[in-house]
Chains A and B, each alone.
Chain A
Amino acid sequence: MQIYLPIAEVSVNAFTLIGLGGLVGLMSGLFGVGGGFLITPLLFFIGIPPAIAVATGANQVVASSVSGVLAHMKRRTVDFRMGGVLLAGGLVGSALGVLVFNVLQRLGQVELVVQLCYVVFLGLIGTMMLQESIRALRRARNPAAPRRKLHDHMWVHRLPLKVKFRASGLYISVIPPLLVGLAVGVLAAIMGVGGGFIMVPAMIYLLGMPTKVVVGTSLFQITFVTAFTTLMHAVSYNTVDVMLAVLLIVGGVVGAQIGTSLGARLRAEQLRILLALLVLAVCGKLALDLFLPPEDLYSIVVRAR
């Protein structure tokens, strides 16, 4: 069933969009990532103009994150104080990111910078997570090996402005979470993603948060940062296509629910290996696109109306 999208001004198959939303929703519930890092490239691929894909992707992430964060709140796995600090950084970062996005668009390098960001970040994080998960699995098989501490005390824990984050069991400075939030906000606006795939590892490895509150807390931050990003895109560039968003959301909310209940049954290490492999696969595909000669050297960009 073809459907015409009023803002994107293209006609696409409604079931493709619902299926795409469902897949991304599943990721969202399972891993606590917004799924934007999958949905934005997929929307480009089916012919949605980039600016609209980014803005509408953010809107879809709001929906899947809301249902995810509600499920986590029921299970009391959200650290609201940490979420608030991450959010404060995220809002500033998102505003900055939209500015940078504009400059890049004028220079014609948006695609390149977005792809490079994906390759670098996904590559680093995927490798880190895979190493960590394999180590954890080995430890589980061989209980005689020395146990690791709850978290390492690094430079991060010697900064001023310390605050107690009770749900996470942490007493650390607010500066690292603020910076993490800021970085995620910038990436959210530039890459059209929720930023969970950056934030989840940063929370585990940089802030030392326990895994059980990481997913819920990151979903909490993502919900508000992507809502803010959506609003900014809608007001300043009219690039949110609500028809497209609704179709993605219909698939997405169902997928998110299935993902959340599935995630509760799987073990954390298995979950992390799965996510690491997924991240590396997307990274590899994007890297190939950068290094292999393109199908057509030329491309057309329609300038703003």
Chain B
Amino acid sequence: MRRLALILALALAPAALAQDEAFPLYPDPGLPRAPAPENVSRPEAEQPAEQVVVGLSSDSVAITASFDGSDILIYGAIRRETPIPDTPLHVIVTVEAPSQALTVWRKARRAGIWINTERVEVGAAPSYYAVASTGPLDQILDPAWDARYRISLPQAMRAFEGALEVRDTVPFTEALLRLREAEGRFLLDEGGVHLAEETLFRADIALPATLVEGEYKTRIFLVRDGQVIDVHRAPIMVRKVGLERWLYRLAFDQPLLYGLMSLAVAVLAGWGASAAFRKLRRA
């Protein structure tokens, strides 16, 4: 009997290890990951017991010349046919900006001066990512479901790319999170979603002034017992408008014309001021 227990323990140990490795804190270096599933896989007929119905204060953000950040309100309700289950319901809201390729550098002292020595290339990291929830993520969300939907900040970063120059990428990923959080580009607001009567919820998400154009993905998760029971997705378009849009398009579509225009503005302003001051002095 004792031998059987030992064999059982030995057989289970690697399984437990593998379980840990399946959901590391940070994405595996060098391994491109499969895209996140679009929807929870379930048969068509089997509707979730609870569904989320969502409204956005606006489905587009216009960047004008005086743009200085923006707040979006995400609100909604939970539709259910059955009585409210006993376990508490949680709501998680994420807003994700288009991704960029990044390089994270680490400085070291060489011959007395501090220079960039080591780097990790990050294939794609969102230029802005916000998570708001009704409670602490590590308490309300199962890591397996977090990994599946890439909800938490570390999970939202994609795989590293290229050959790695450093053994240990964890400090680099942590630095990326820390720096981005300091810039207000990565937000974690545990408790930022207000849920009333397990039915109505609202979340205010602050968009920074340093917005990049593109389609921002909004996701609303219903979580019960650490499991995601429903997801709703809605895009928010962030677009430059008016003069901002015109200048941006000209700079990228007609760079020579744009460059000459910039020079003309500079020369005219310089000459104009010179002439104006001469008049002033004579007067």
Contacts and interface: CB of A to CB of B under 8 A. Distances in A.
Interface string A1-35: 11110110111000000000000000000000000
Interface string A270-305: 000000000000000000001111101111111101
A253 B262 contact: no
B265 A242 contact: yes
Contact of B116 (A9, A10, A109): A109
Nearest to B179: A300
Contacts of B171: 298
Nearest to B185: A300
B68 A2 contact: yes
A231 B243 CA distance: 21
B101 A67 contact: no
B100 A302 contact: yes
Interface in A93-136: 108-109, 111-112, 116
B271 A4 contact: no
A300 B259 contact: no
A294 to B, nearest CB: 5
Interface in A213-237: 227, 230-231, 233-236
Interface in B259-283: 259-263, 265-267, 269-274, 277-278, 281
B131 to A, nearest CB: 20
Contacts of A238: 251-252, 255
A293 B64 contact: no
Contacts of A6: 240, 243-245, 247-248, 251
A109 B113 CA distance: 13
Nearest to B208: A11
A186 interface: no
B172 A70 contact: no
Nearest to A60: B266
B116 A112 contact: yes
Interface string B80-116: 0000000000000000000011111111110011111
24 contacts: A3-B65, A4-B63, A4-B67, A4-B68, A4-B209, A6-B247, A7-B248, A62-B267, A63-B265, A64-B270, A67-B274, A70-B274, A112-B116, A233-B259, A242-B265, A245-B262, A246-B265, A290-B114, A298-B106, A298-B107, A299-B105, A299-B107, A303-B103, A303-B121
Nearest to A249: B269
A187 interface: no
Given A4-B65, A298-B105, A298-B106, A235 B274 contact: no
B24 interface: no
Nearest to A255: B273
Interface string B221-263: 0000000000000000000100111011001100110111111
Contacts of B262: 59, 230, 234, 240, 242, 245
Given A235-B259, A299-B107, 6 more contacts: A2-B66, A7-B248, A59-B263, A62-B266, A298-B172, A300-B180
A70 B104 contact: no
A217 to B, nearest CB: 17
Contacts of A302: 100-102, 127
Contacts of B244: 4, 6, 243
Q: Give the residue among B100, B213, B266 with the most A Cβ atoms within 10 A.
A: B266
B153 interface: no
Interface string B23-67: 000000000000000000000000000000000000000011111
B65 A71 contact: no
A170 interface: no
A303 to B, nearest CB: 4
A253 B273 contact: yes
